[in-house]
Amino acid sequence: MANLLSQSSELEALIVSRKARIGIIGMGYVGLPLALLFSEQHFQVTGFDIDAKKVETLNSGGSYIVRIPAPDIAKAQSSGFRATSAYTEITDMDAIIICVPTPLDEHHQPDLSYIEKTAHAIAPHLRMGQLVILESTTYPGTTEEVLIPILEAGNSAGLRAIRKPGDSGFHVAFSPEREDPGNETVARRDIPKVIGGVEPAASSLAAALYGSIFNRTIPVSSPAVAEMTKLLENIYRCVNIALVNELKQLCMRMGIDIHEVIDAARTKPFGFQAFYPGPGLGGHCIPIDPFYLSWKAKEFDFRTRFIELAGEINTAMPYFVLEQTAAALNENAKSIKGSKVLVLGLAYKRDIDDLRESPSLTIIELLREKGAIVSYNDPYFPTVGHGRHYDLNMTNTPLENLGQYDAVLIVTDHTSYNFREIVEQSQLVVDTRNATKGIDSAKIVRC
């Protein structure tokens, strides 16, 4: 027992003195910024990724994420940051943080294969006293029902997760990533870090570790509570966005501007938070995470009706945009078939270089199916090829000669766009983001 206590206080001492070596698995939108935050605090960080190109780019001091400039990588390298694909190096780490993708499969069910493969890969290299933290968004139960069993079964030395004080083995916790890409108003350090350890020592070690880069840590009683917390946050957004998307459609029929309504409602100092309608959900989180819970709920013979209804409304939005574009062209005595349409913005939201699940992709496919000749402009994407749910193979079109298009369709309101000029130069502008607010022109159709 004394030995075990000393093991966990040894790790705590390493954390406090910044001597703990941190391994972060998955050098993507979540893992790489996290690695940089720890490096800033002078921890020695190793980034693990199966993508050899990313490993090579990072090791040569480069970046592949627009909002992370290359000098930030070079600065982290001076604190010892490096990347690798060699899982044997897991043994040298004191804390291991897993940030791999958790998408849905083709049947709209959780795809835990990335977490499972990571767990299989690190299991043989775990050693006594290490701290393993899962950050990937997932359904309640994943850490204890999926991650830990694989880690234990794959460790030939028979190492086990510490489940109660007095056990020996490795510590395990879940701590969700809560960042909002592109949001410059809240510093990442100011987003409190929720932590659910399998037992108290795991929680306090994880709190010590994250406490070095976040201003506040929020301990909860179990990994499942932490897993569910992240899902509640995203379901809350998904349901509220669906609500305003539905009300927008009603307001349009009633001749009321939903944005004016929201702006008035948000002046209430309590009980109301503003959500905004748009062309549909995008990103790795809001369109996907709620369905992790719906799937798990079935195991408990429970239907998550709010999630299903919100999903139905939100996934119908690109079709609504298509209808509105067709109606706007019709007003100009044109059909979608044969019309030249320029889609402005591919990213799923303003000022980011991420097009995962972006409604633009669906909208372009729908327009093409109806015979439109579609081009796109997005400063963040010189080309777009094919992904899990799209096959576009297009090249960025310069933002010029806008009068040649029968319609310019605003799907992403990047701040680099000058919407007044865009309206002046275009024949017809279909605006799904209220980007043309304050511009008075008969050419604009807001939907």
**If binding means CB under 6 A, how many residues of this protein chain bind ligand NAD?**
27
**Quick check: 22 binds ligand NAD (CB under 6 A)?**
no
For the CB of residue 13, give the shortest distance to ligand NAD in the complex, in Å. 29
Q: How many CB atoms lie within 10 A of CB 313?
A: 21
Contact 134, 142 (CB under 8 A): yes
For the CB of residue 284, give the shortest distance to ligand NAD in the complex, in Å. 5
**CB closer to ligand NAD out of 167 and 180:** 180
Given candidates 15, 20, 22, 30, which one binds ligand NAD under the rule CB under 6 A?
30
| Residue 285 DSSP code | S
| Of 350, 344, 349, nearest in space to 364 by CA | 344
CA angle 166, 168, 171 (to 5 degrees): 100
Given candidates 35, 161, 285, 307, which one binds ligand NAD under the rule CB under 6 A?
285
Q: Of residues 196-255, which lie at the interface with ligand NAD (CB under 6 A)?
A: none
Contact 103, 111 (CB under 8 A): yes
For the CB of residue 410, give the shortest distance to ligand NAD in the complex, in Å. 23
CA angle 17, 21, 22 (to 5 degrees): 115
Cα–Cα dist 323/336, whole Å: 10
Give residue number: closest CB to ligand NAD.
28
Give Dmax over CA atoms of the chain in angstroms.
83
Given candidates 54, 125, 259, 443, which one binds ligand NAD under the rule CB under 6 A?
54
For the CB of residue 352, give the shortest distance to ligand NAD in the complex, in Å. 9
Site string for ligand NAD, 128-167 (x = CB under 6 A): --------xx------------------------------
**CB closer to ligand NAD out of 48 and 376:** 48
For the CB of residue 139, give the shortest distance to ligand NAD in the complex, in Å. 11
**Quick check: 443 binds ligand NAD (CB under 6 A)?**
no
Phi-psi region of 434 (alpha: psi -120 to 50; beta: other; left: phi over 0): left
Count CA within 13 A, CB hemisphere, residue 335. Answer: 6
21: three-class secondary structure by DSSP: strand
Strands 95-98 and 21-25, by their bridges, are: parallel
**Quick check: 367 binds ligand NAD (CB under 6 A)?**
no
Contact 292, 139 (CB under 8 A): yes
Cα–Cα dist 135/143, whole Å: 10
Contact 405, 372 (CB under 8 A): no
**CB closer to ligand NAD out of 292 and 320:** 292
**Quick check: 284 binds ligand NAD (CB under 6 A)?**
yes
**CB closer to ligand NAD out of 283 and 336:** 283
For the CB of residue 408, give the shortest distance to ligand NAD in the complex, in Å. 28
**Quick check: 174 binds ligand NAD (CB under 6 A)?**
no
**Quick check: 43 binds ligand NAD (CB under 6 A)?**
no
Given candidates 21, 42, 51, 437, which one binds ligand NAD under the rule CB under 6 A?
51
CA angle 68, 96, 153 (to 5 degrees): 140
The residue written with tokens 């319609």 in the block is 407
**Quick check: 114 binds ligand NAD (CB under 6 A)?**
yes
**Quick check: 25 binds ligand NAD (CB under 6 A)?**
yes
Phi-psi region of 80 (alpha: psi -120 to 50; beta: other; left: phi over 0): left
Whether the CA torsion 177, 179, 181, 187 is positive or negative: it is negative
Binding range to ligand NAD, per CB under 6 A, among 4-12, 13-21, 70-78, 95-103 = 95-103
Tell me, yes or no, if 99 is annotated catalytic: no
Q: Which residues bind ligand NAD (CB under 6 A)?
A: 25-31, 48-51, 54, 99-102, 114, 117-118, 121, 136-137, 177, 179, 181, 284-285
Catalytic sites, residue numbers = 285
